[in-house]
Structure 1
């Protein structure tokens, strides 16, 4: 009788340990940031560099607002078999020295590694129109 009880207790303990380990792995996986969260954190770390670049496009720009919810990565290429660059794109709004919204357009960043970016390789504006048609702001 004691032997059966010991075997049942051992099996029960083993099952509890296995389920506990699986549960811990699930919790660890849930607490890891997503790829998009890592990319946003990377871009926020480089926000001053990006803002400085955008401000060089026109002397009327005093402030840049980033719409982080629009961030996505995409592959941009010229149709050749070797593919293209992985880029991160998002919408930005530029504001003048009078705190007036003067334009909104896309912004692209080419990081060194799309999944675990460390540094910016290149960046450029997308469909930016610097002729504001509001006159001299």
Structure 2
């Protein structure tokens, strides 16, 4: 009789420990930023570099001869893109460009090639 109670008590304690461990791991995972959040934070950190590219080096802006004074980014539009098979993945973000009066000139996407798409730390190229 005492043996059965000890076994039941042992099983109960083991179950509680397993649930506590799984719960702790789950909470820890929830506190880590998602892949998209890491990508957005990376892009925001390099916003000035991207803005310089859009204003002065973007083919879209150069071909249409826009005089860009302001650039805004739609951070919710950030996605991972692979343009062709075997090409490296890039991070795409929607861009809106404005003139000096605040009039919207155009909108398009730019593609940022980071060192690591899942956890980026530096920009290799912008297109």
**What is the aligned counterpart of 1:86 among 89, 95, 101?**
89
State the distance in 2 between where 1:73 and 1:5 align.
56
Alpha-carbon shift at residue 103 of structure 1 (Å) = 1.1
Superposed, 1:4-43 pairs within 5 Å as 4-43=4-43
State the distance in 2 between where 1:38 and 1:70 align.
14
Q: Is 2:115 aligned against 1:112? A: yes
State the distance in 1 between where 2:94 and 2:11 align.
57
Partner of 1:102: 105
TM-score by length of 1: 0.78
In structure 2, runs of 5+ residues without a counterpart are none
Q: Which moved more, 1:9-18 or 1:51-60?
A: 51-60
Alpha-carbon shift at residue 2 of structure 1 (Å) = 4.2
TM-score by length of 2: 0.84
State the distance in 2 between where 1:104 and 1:7 align.
68
- Render the CA deviation track for 1:68-95: whole Å, top value 9, x for unaligned: 1111111123x5xxx1121111211011
State the distance in 1 between where 2:10 and 2:32 align.
33
* Structure number with higher helix proportion: 2
Partner of 1:45: 45
In structure 1, runs of 5+ residues without a counterpart are 125-137
Q: Is 2:76 aligned against 1:73? A: no
* Structure number with higher strand proportion: 1
